[in-house]
Amino acid sequence: MDHSSAKYLLAGSPSEFERLRLQARVWEPEAEAMLDQIGIQAGWSCIDLGCGAMGILDPLSRRVGTSGRVIGVDNDHRQLAAARAFVQELGRNNIELVEQDAYQTDFPRGVFDFVHVRFVFAPVGRDEELLREMIALTRPGGIVAIQEPDATCWNCFPQHQAWDRLKQAILAAFEQGGGDFNAGQRTYGMLRKAGLEDVHIRAAVIALQNQHPYMRLPIQFATSLRQRILGAALLTEEELDASLAACEQLASHPETSVLTFLHTSSLGTQVALHYAPIALKHDVWMVVLTCAVAGTLLAGLWRSEGQEGWFAR
């Protein structure tokens, strides 16, 4: 998750790092399924905006191979430090990590085959700004992918008042901070409205049981959001602590099961350039041709393995 906004809701605490690592592991099979559906090719240039400590760097790296390149972008140096340790563990040299603002990067426009974000719209918002950057980075015919949550089915069984109270406080804290936990409900429409082609959506939910650590997600969220929850009077300190304690008991009970939030993946294809024979003056055609050649050379330079450090910061 990118921390580029000063209003980012979730603090970069050890508990937050733990949550992000666990979250990446839990949703990795869904990322794998999405990438298989897209058909990521060897040699592709891919960028994961707001990658946090792991993002989908590993499955992307495996698919693009040594001839491809994966860029992970985050604005939090602590998250990037964790990501660098993760990449070092993988032993891959086709992943580059860059500290930049995901909403306004310095990368060339229109050169990436695949542009991805996961769980960035929900906590931060600024939908138009982020989507505009994603589309600008994508080459004609390239893929834009947005993965965001929808809390509709996020429940524990048997149902418990403490769980419901904590969930509602978390959703309200997101909203008060300018985000929307249910961002996954609108991403399909966002891509359609932006004019992308072949837009479609997939969704997944996971049933958790046997004290799976991801059953503690409301506890982890509420811990990171504690000051915001209390400051906005969403819960009193006594109510929050009591709810946290009750949810800890629920998560550790062998008879408790949990349905995760709905994980949505909305995909769209950047509009391809179509050339038609238009009667233009000779000097105008020369400008068009020059721009086309320059764009081709830039894309080739970006893909070249010999241009190490092209975007080194």
CATH number of residue 40's parent domain: 3.40.50.150
pLDDT digits (tens, 9 = 90+) for 136-187: 999 999 999 999 999 999 999 999 999 999 999 999 999 998 999 999 999 9
Summarize the confidence of residues 119-143 as an average pLDDT: 96
Domains identified in the chain, total number: 1
Give the contacts of 153 (CB within 8 A, at least 6 positions apart): 205, 259, 260, 261, 262
pTM: 0.84
Question: What is the per-residue pLDDT for 282?
Answer: 44
Q: What is the CA radius of gyration of the chain?
A: 21
Q: Is the peptide bond before 218 cis (omega within 30 degrees of 0)?
A: no
**Helix, strand, coil % in the chain, rounded to nearest 5:** 45, 20, 35
Residue 86 lies in a domain: yes
Buried b / exposed e along 36-50 (16+ C-beta atoms within 10 A): eebebeeebbbbbbb
CA dihedral 243, 10, 56, 87 (to 10 degrees): -110
pLDDT digits (tens, 9 = 90+) for 47-106: 999 999 999 999 999 999 999 999 999 999 999 999 999 999 999 999 999 999 999 999
| CA-based torsion, 280, 281, 286, 291: positive or negative | negative
Residue 224 lies in a domain: no
Residue 156 lies in a domain: no
Written as one letter, the residue type at 281 is: K
Residue 87 lies in a domain: yes
Residue 53 lies in a domain: yes
Phi and psi angles of residue 288, each rounded to the nearest 5 degrees, phi first = -60, -45
Written as one string, the DSSP assignment of 30-57 is HHHHHHHHHT--TT-EEEEET-TTTTTH
Residue 159 lies in a domain: no
Q: What angle do CA 57, 58, 59 make, to 5 degrees?
A: 100
Ramachandran region of residue 39, left (φ > 0), alpha (ψ -120 to 50) or beta?
left
Q: Count Cβ atoms within 10 A of the Cβ of residue 64 and give its class: 0-12 exposed, 13-18 middle, 19 or more buried.
A: buried
Residue 238 lies in a domain: no
Number of neighbours of residue 12 by Cβ within 10 angstroms: 18
Residue 165 lies in a domain: no
The runs of H, that is alpha helices, within 43-196 are 57-64, 77-90, 121-124, 127-137, 161-176, 187-193
Query: What's the length of the chain?
Result: 313
Q: Report the alpha-carbon distance of residue 135 to residue 194 in Å, rounded.
A: 9
Mean pLDDT of the chain, nearest integer: 87
Determine the structural domain holding residue 144 and report its residue range: 14-149+180-203+262-302
